[in-house]
Amino acid sequence: MAKDKRKRSRPDAPVSPGPTEPPATAPMPEGVVIAGKLPLDAGGATHQTVAAGYPTLTTQQGVPIADDQNHLKVGPRGPMLMQDFHFREKIFHFDHERIPERVVHARGYGAHGFFETTASLSKVTRADLFQRVGQRTPVFVRFSTVAGSKGSFDLARDVRGFAVKFYTEEGNWDLVGNNIPVFFIQDAIKFPDIIHSVKPEPDRAFPQAQSAHDNFWDFISLTPESMHMIMWIMSDRAIPRSYRFMEGFGVHTFRFVDARGKSTFVKFHWKPKLGLQSVCWNEAVKINGADPDFHRRDLWNAINAGAFPEWELGVQLFDDAFAERFDFDVLDPTKLIPEEILPVRIVGRLVLNRMPDNFFADTEQVAFCTQNVVPGIDFSDDPLLQGRNFSYLDTQLKRLGSPNFTHLPINAPRCPFAHFQQDGHMATMNPKGRANYEPNSWGPEVGGPREDPQRGYRHFAQETAGPKIAARSDTFGDHYSQARQFYISQEPIEQKHLGDALVFELSKVERPDIRERMVSHLRNIDPGLAGNVATGLGIRLPPAMKALRKPIELPTSDALSIVRRGPGRFEGRKLGVLVTDGASAATVNALQSAVLEAGGMVEIIAPKISGAMLDDDTLLPAQQKIDGGPSVLYDAVAIVVSEEGASLLQKDAPTKDFISDAFAHCKFIGYVAAAQPLLERAGIADSLDEGCIALADEDVGSFIARLGELRLWSREPGVDADA
């Protein structure tokens, strides 16, 4: 797309300078001047110009900086220029500021598997792995959180990395994505800033793996382009129940290129076979205390049990004509294309079937780089993607200590390869022969590899022209429309959770002006949401933040809701069964059989880890002792106790919490008659609803039939004081 011919805007025209007064609802520290309509910038990011008492922002060499919001490119929508020394220095320093763990995505977990092509894409791409139905390509997948360190917990409210390394017949392709299809920023030059803001504050080194603090929300409230991502990160998408129950996205617009050199735009989607599922915030907090390795353990257990996690790969394919008429710029990484407008076409499946033999060798040493593509796959001019392509190689060099990180088995191609790169730290192989340069006139025995014009990688021959300029296209200027679309596409219970998350996060912010400034943005997204958050914070509703571009009303999208597209089955989920000595063997056996038949798992919790002696004199081994197996670890629970066992547990605090938490988290609860004293002790005996189902001996059918719903969300208003 050399030019954007949409009549509604002039994307190649920079925005004229026009400083305005800061909004009355968003007071700033004394002396800071905020420019509303920015010089050479239509992105809406806030420039903070020099004022009394503030030093001038410079490079490390002392060169004053005129624009810290946009990298240098060919025209407002064009590719990055390597001569942008400020961007290179900023990213270079950011990439090197942690040793040895990753700066972002430090806490990760990975597995081996394969990708199988189920629909040929030979008409739109020459990429070998998409040519033949049934072809299998080895893969390594790494899931991760973004903000926390290696030692943080799994269930932080955070973006989840979803990175896939394909070992194709024509080299390695890295699809380095997330479980959220958009991102906080539009230009890669702002990546150090968003990550610095969310990391522990530098003067105190906390909070860890949390965004609920002043620095993060200060940055976000000054960066309107982040509002769409904020809706996702404050939703239940940011606290998934399992890696197995979350989607993945390539985030950016990429290109497929066919054998004739024709380009088709593509966006990548991973759809979990077991459906989407998340947890409640209170549940996440308790899971992190009970098992900070919850997601890791879940993936390990599933693969080692033979319940191999699976996702479908879907693509959204479109041409320049679609890009021209779409309401938003397809190069803007803060925007998505709704599935109702452009359906996702399923073209393959991803199966994870083997854990690494050594965590460090594979999961820690794997090096993903967005610029690792194969013939038939190319990039768009998305300014965030362009910056990632520059940054990742430098990051891996610093983290792994050598340009020879591709010599590590996890990073090495599994197809034939040959080049003239030699020596260096940790070199485990070097080219053979006399020649270590090209071109050369030596024969095949010693002359080394040669170019292959037919099979070799060729970039798409894109026409591009424009001035050298650090700017942002004004087609990136709508920051609220898709944020609102996401919010109104949620079910009421999901909207409530999103609002609760905003209140919780902003309640941890110490500065009132940051809270107010954030709520003023919310007014542009949904008045009801803004009002609820203001009420929850106990503040007066501020005026709406001035929008760079007037939002447009978009239709709802079912694909954006977790609840609306729930799995409707218990497959892959876990039932926790609390048992005591003397419990009904018939009931326990019936539960186990029915859950296994539904594709689920059963875990036994007992007063002692040795298990419980059932009423048929068989010893049932336990996987968890009651104080080590809280109900937050399970998708539903059953209480199968004897009268004597219930009497012994009646004064046990962990047992009380096991039941009361399951009820508070809207889970389905099965119980035998002997459990009545425990229900009373937990304070729910008078509140039993349709999600609390009596188990009568071997008749567990009515209970099992409900488990596919996963939660009885209608219960929440009765158990949440803020509802």
Instruction: Tell me: pLDDT of 658 over 50.
Output: yes
Per-residue pLDDT averaged across 331-341, rounded?
98
Instruction: Tell me: pLDDT of 327 over 90.
Output: yes
Instruction: Tell me: pLDDT of 22 over 50.
Output: no
Per-residue pLDDT averaged across 175-185, rounded?
98
Per-residue pLDDT reduced to its tens digit, 450-473: 888 888 998 999 999 999 999 999
Q: Give the pLDDT band of residue 335 (cuts 50, 70, 90).
A: very high
Per-residue pLDDT averaged across 595-600, rounded?
96
Residue 263 and residue 515 in contact, taking contact as beta carbons nearer than 8 Å: no
The whole-angstrom separation of Cα 424 and Cα 563 is 53
The whole-angstrom separation of Cα 621 and Cα 606 is 9
Give the range among 47-61, 178-192, 651-665 with minimum mean pLDDT. Answer: 47-61
Q: What pLDDT shows up at residue 61?
A: 74
Per-residue pLDDT reduced to its tens digit, 289-317: 999 999 999 999 999 999 999 999 999 99
The whole-angstrom separation of Cα 352 and Cα 363 is 14
Length of the chain: 723
Per-residue pLDDT reduced to its tens digit, 223-234: 999 999 999 999
Q: What pLDDT shows up at residue 324?
A: 97
Per-residue pLDDT averaged across 546-558, rounded?
96
Per-residue pLDDT reduced to its tens digit, 468-497: 999 999 999 999 999 999 999 999 999 999
CATH, domain range 101-212+223-407: 2.40.180.10
Per-residue pLDDT reduced to its tens digit, 415-437: 988 888 888 888 888 888 898 88
Give the range among 4-8, 438-442, 510-514 with minimum mean pLDDT. Answer: 4-8
**β 171-178/160-168 pair status:** antiparallel
What does pTM read for this prediction?
0.89
On average, the pLDDT of the chain sits at 91
Instruction: Tell me: pLDDT of 638 over 90.
Output: yes
Q: Please give the C-alpha separations between residue 70 and each of 387, 460, 608, in angstroms, as whole numbers.
A: 11, 25, 61
Q: What pLDDT shows up at residue 8?
A: 38
The whole-angstrom separation of Cα 359 and Cα 300 is 12
What does the buried/exposed string (b/e) look like for 533-570 if buried means 16 or more CB atoms within 10 Å of the residue's CB? bbebbeeebbebbbbbbebeebebbebbbbbeebbebb
Q: Give the pLDDT band of residue 17 (cuts 50, 70, 90).
A: very low
Instruction: Tell me: pLDDT of 43 over 60.
Output: no
The whole-angstrom separation of Cα 578 and Cα 570 is 19
Instruction: Tell me: pLDDT of 642 over 50.
Output: yes
Please calculate the CA angle 442-448-449 and round it to the nearest 5 degrees: 120
Instruction: Tell me: pLDDT of 95 over 60.
Output: yes
Q: What pLDDT shows up at residue 557?
A: 98
End-to-end CA distance of the chain: 48
**What is the set of active-site residues?**
105, 178
The whole-angstrom separation of Cα 438 and Cα 429 is 19
Domain spans in the chain, listed from the N-terminal domain onward: 101-212+223-407, 574-717
Cβ neighbours, 10 Å, residue 282: 15
Q: What pLDDT shows up at residue 45?
A: 59
Per-residue pLDDT reduced to its tens digit, 120-139: 999 999 999 999 999 999 99
The whole-angstrom separation of Cα 603 and Cα 593 is 13
Q: What pLDDT shows up at residue 84?
A: 85
On whether the 574-717 domain is CATH 3.40.50.620, my answer is no
Q: What pLDDT shows up at residue 44?
A: 58
Per-residue pLDDT averaged across 373-379, rounded?
94
Per-residue pLDDT averaged across 189-204, rounded?
96
Q: What pLDDT shows up at residue 11?
A: 36
Q: What percent of the chain has pLDDT over 90?
A: 76
Give the range among 91-95, 456-460, 464-468, 602-606 with minimum mean pLDDT. Answer: 91-95
pLDDT, greater one: 80 or 247: 247
